[in-house]
Amino acid sequence: MTSFVMMGQILLITGATGLVGKALVKQCLSEGHTVHYLSTQKSKIVSQTNYKGFYWNPQENKIDIACFGGVEVVLNLAGASIAQRWSNAAKASILSSRTDALALLHSSIETHNFPVKHIISASAIGIYPDSKTRYYDEKFQGTDASFLRAVVKSWEGSLKPFQSIGVKTTALRIGIVLDSQEGALPKIMGPIKHYFGAALGSGDQWQSWIHIDDLVRVFMFVLELELEGVYNAVAPNPVQQIELTKLIAKILQRPLVLPNVPEFVLKLLLGEMRAIALESQRVCAAKIQDAGFKFNYLELEPALEDLIA
């Protein structure tokens, strides 16, 4: 009987040293793919058998085009963190780091006619307006003037030029990524561990989350099936902020004795960036599920138990 072994691909990954990027690189390598990655820091560039770094600087329109050698799929996670105080300079960086990266990838592929077939890019559920009552799916077309929505619209808009050169595009609108070491979860856990934990604002804002392992599996699922279009990358069961706080406290075996942190305090501490903590986005995962994706973590409590334990 003949058996067929699926050969690994050469994948180009941007943002490979970030929270999601590191987990994605690990999974790609474990599945037999070769990873080329782009870094703005020459000190982070290494060259191993199936893991090779290349320099780029989207702000200065510089890229080592050798990174495209043998690549048919690009996984794009480039972008400055939104978890920083939103000064005018920070806002400019948050936006340009996303749009410049995609513009440079596009111009490089077009100019040199590289045979890239598919770009799978991170996006964010920040495109959906703050609402306690709406349940958002990918068809939602409304808009408002907030900074986050403007960023995500420009980010996704930067994918459109790829389509005109025959490259498939996919945007994954990612919710709050739960990881044991980095991102939102350790920041929420810290005060709770030290008996200072409290819900933020009213506590009834919806938070659409995803376990880091499931998010990586969504990227690999889209890669394998060559899915195109926009998909929400969130677990099927969003929770309100108070429930998230209570579940973490329960698993850590800590009481929640303090009142909710008022919005004016968050405004003093975080400025405009408080939107990350206070905005409510209840986001639907049905489209990726209908495509055949099976979440390992559908409910928040098992996801938190896995990560905190």
pLDDT tens digits for range 280-294: 999 999 999 999 999
Above 90 in pLDDT, residue 29? yes
For domain 10-308, say whether CATH 3.90.1150.10 is its number.
Answer: no
Helix (H, G, I), strand (E, B) or coil at 258: coil
Residues of 165-180 as b/e, b for ≥16 C-beta within 10 angstroms? eebbbbbbbbbbbbbe
pLDDT tens for 40-88 read 999 889 999 899 999 999 999 999 999 999 999 999 999 999 988 999 9
Q: What is the pLDDT of residue 7?
A: 66
Q: What is the pLDDT of residue 133?
A: 95
pLDDT tens for 111-137 read 999 999 999 999 999 999 999 999 999
pLDDT tens for 170-223 read 999 999 999 999 999 999 999 999 898 999 999 999 999 999 999 999 999 999
All structural domains of the chain with their residue ranges:
10-308
- More confidently predicted of 271 and 158: 158
Above 50 in pLDDT, residue 1? no
Candidate ranges 29-33, 255-259, 261-265; pick with highest mean pLDDT: 29-33
Q: What is the pLDDT of residue 262?
A: 86
Place 144 in a pLDDT band, splitting at 50, 70 and 90: confident
pLDDT tens for 5-25 read 456 899 999 999 999 999 999
CA angle 263, 267, 271 (to 5 degrees): 150
Helix (H, G, I), strand (E, B) or coil at 22: helix
Q: What is the pLDDT of residue 83?
A: 87
Candidate ranges 79-83, 123-127, 145-149, 264-268; pick with highest mean pLDDT: 123-127
> Token digits for 280?
């409510």
Helix (H, G, I), strand (E, B) or coil at 264: helix
Whole-angstrom distance between the N-terminal and C-terminal Cα of the chain? 44
Burial class (CB in 10 A: 0-12, 13-18, 19+), 7: exposed
Question: How many CB atoms lie under 10 A from the CB of residue 45?
Answer: 15
**What percent of the chain lies above the pLDDT cut of 70?**
98
* Tokens 């068809």, residue located: 139
pLDDT tens for 89-99 read 999 999 999 99
